[in-house]
Amino acid sequence: MKVLVFEENLMWSSRLVQSLKAFGHEPLLRKGLPEDAEGAEVAIINLGTKSPDPADLVASLHRLGVRVLAHAGHRETELLELGKRAGADRLATNRELTYQLPKLMDALSLGIKSPDEE
Protein backbone atom coordinates (compact mmCIF):
# COMPACT_ATOMS: atom_id res chain seq x y z
CA MET A 1 0.00 0.00 0.00
CA LYS A 2 1.22 3.54 -0.72
CA VAL A 3 1.68 5.58 2.45
CA LEU A 4 2.23 9.33 2.59
CA VAL A 5 4.69 10.15 5.38
CA PHE A 6 4.76 13.68 6.79
CA GLU A 7 7.76 13.73 9.10
CA GLU A 8 10.35 16.48 9.39
CA ASN A 9 12.55 14.69 11.95
CA LEU A 10 15.28 12.99 9.90
CA MET A 11 15.73 10.10 12.34
CA TRP A 12 11.99 9.37 12.46
CA SER A 13 11.51 9.79 8.72
CA SER A 14 14.29 7.33 7.83
CA ARG A 15 13.07 4.85 10.45
CA LEU A 16 9.48 5.06 9.19
CA VAL A 17 10.48 4.73 5.55
CA GLN A 18 12.65 1.68 6.27
CA SER A 19 9.99 0.03 8.44
CA LEU A 20 7.20 0.64 5.94
CA LYS A 21 9.32 -0.83 3.14
CA ALA A 22 10.18 -3.85 5.30
CA PHE A 23 6.47 -4.50 5.81
CA GLY A 24 5.73 -4.31 2.09
CA HIS A 25 4.41 -0.75 1.86
CA GLU A 26 5.50 2.03 -0.49
CA PRO A 27 6.32 5.11 1.61
CA LEU A 28 6.22 8.55 0.00
CA LEU A 29 7.98 11.15 2.17
CA ARG A 30 6.26 14.52 1.73
CA LYS A 31 6.17 18.07 3.11
CA GLY A 32 3.43 20.69 3.11
CA LEU A 33 -0.25 20.32 2.39
CA PRO A 34 -0.88 17.70 -0.27
CA GLU A 35 -2.69 18.53 -3.49
CA ASP A 36 -3.01 14.91 -4.55
CA ALA A 37 -3.29 11.60 -2.70
CA GLU A 38 -0.80 10.07 -5.18
CA GLY A 39 -2.69 6.79 -4.90
CA ALA A 40 -2.10 6.56 -1.14
CA GLU A 41 -4.81 5.24 1.14
CA VAL A 42 -3.02 6.14 4.36
CA ALA A 43 -0.81 8.92 5.73
CA ILE A 44 1.36 9.02 8.82
CA ILE A 45 1.83 12.43 10.38
CA ASN A 46 3.85 13.73 13.33
CA LEU A 47 1.59 15.88 15.49
CA GLY A 48 4.63 17.86 16.65
CA THR A 49 5.19 19.28 13.18
CA LYS A 50 4.85 23.05 13.12
CA SER A 51 4.22 23.48 9.40
CA PRO A 52 1.80 22.62 8.06
CA ASP A 53 -0.50 22.80 11.03
CA PRO A 54 -1.43 19.20 11.94
CA ALA A 55 -5.17 19.99 12.01
CA ASP A 56 -4.98 21.51 8.52
CA LEU A 57 -2.97 18.52 7.32
CA VAL A 58 -5.52 16.02 8.65
CA ALA A 59 -8.37 17.96 7.02
CA SER A 60 -6.51 18.17 3.72
CA LEU A 61 -5.74 14.45 3.73
CA HIS A 62 -9.35 13.56 4.57
CA ARG A 63 -10.58 15.70 1.64
CA LEU A 64 -8.34 13.54 -0.57
CA GLY A 65 -9.84 10.35 0.90
CA VAL A 66 -6.69 9.43 2.84
CA ARG A 67 -6.92 7.90 6.33
CA VAL A 68 -4.56 9.42 8.91
CA LEU A 69 -2.36 7.79 11.53
CA ALA A 70 -1.11 10.61 13.78
CA HIS A 71 1.65 10.18 16.37
CA ALA A 72 3.36 12.01 19.22
CA GLY A 73 5.32 11.13 22.34
CA HIS A 74 3.41 9.40 25.15
CA ARG A 75 3.92 12.42 27.41
CA GLU A 76 2.78 14.85 24.71
CA THR A 77 -0.84 14.50 25.73
CA GLU A 78 -1.73 17.94 24.35
CA LEU A 79 -0.52 16.85 20.90
CA LEU A 80 -2.40 13.56 21.08
CA GLU A 81 -5.51 15.52 22.08
CA LEU A 82 -4.92 17.83 19.11
CA GLY A 83 -4.85 14.77 16.84
CA LYS A 84 -8.10 13.54 18.31
CA ARG A 85 -9.80 16.94 17.87
CA ALA A 86 -8.43 17.20 14.32
CA GLY A 87 -10.13 13.91 13.47
CA ALA A 88 -7.11 11.66 12.91
CA ASP A 89 -8.39 8.17 12.14
CA ARG A 90 -5.88 6.54 14.44
CA LEU A 91 -3.62 7.92 17.19
CA ALA A 92 -0.39 6.34 18.36
CA THR A 93 2.45 7.13 20.68
CA ASN A 94 5.93 7.11 19.19
CA ARG A 95 6.58 3.84 21.02
CA GLU A 96 3.49 2.23 19.49
CA LEU A 97 4.55 3.46 16.08
CA THR A 98 7.97 1.88 16.57
CA TYR A 99 6.85 -1.49 17.92
CA GLN A 100 3.36 -1.96 16.49
CA LEU A 101 3.51 -0.43 13.01
CA PRO A 102 2.11 -3.48 11.16
CA LYS A 103 -0.81 -3.76 13.62
CA LEU A 104 -1.54 -0.03 13.36
CA MET A 105 -1.42 -0.12 9.55
CA ASP A 106 -3.74 -3.14 9.45
CA ALA A 107 -6.23 -1.47 11.80
CA LEU A 108 -6.12 1.73 9.77
CA SER A 109 -6.67 -0.06 6.48
CA LEU A 110 -9.70 -1.77 8.05
CA GLY A 111 -11.06 1.53 9.41
CA ILE A 112 -10.64 0.53 13.08
CA LYS A 113 -10.47 3.61 15.32
CA SER A 114 -8.14 4.13 18.27
CA PRO A 115 -9.19 2.02 21.31
CA ASP A 116 -10.42 5.04 23.29
CA GLU A 117 -12.69 6.05 20.37
CA GLU A 118 -14.36 2.68 19.79
Amino acid 11: pLDDT: 85
Question: Using an 8 Å Cβ cutoff, are 93 and 116 in contact?
Answer: no
The stretches in the chain having pLDDT less than 70 are 110-118
Amino acid 114: pLDDT: 61
Amino acid 79: pLDDT: 94
Amino acid 51: pLDDT: 85
Amino acid 118: pLDDT: 44
Q: What is the pTM of this model?
A: 0.91
Amino acid 113: pLDDT: 63
By CB neighbour count within 10 A (0-12 exposed, 13-18 middle, 19+ buried), where does 22 fall? exposed
Alpha-carbon distance of 42 to 45, in angstroms, equals 10
Domain 2-117 = CATH 2.40.50.100: no
Each domain of the chain, given as residue ranges in start order, spans 2-117
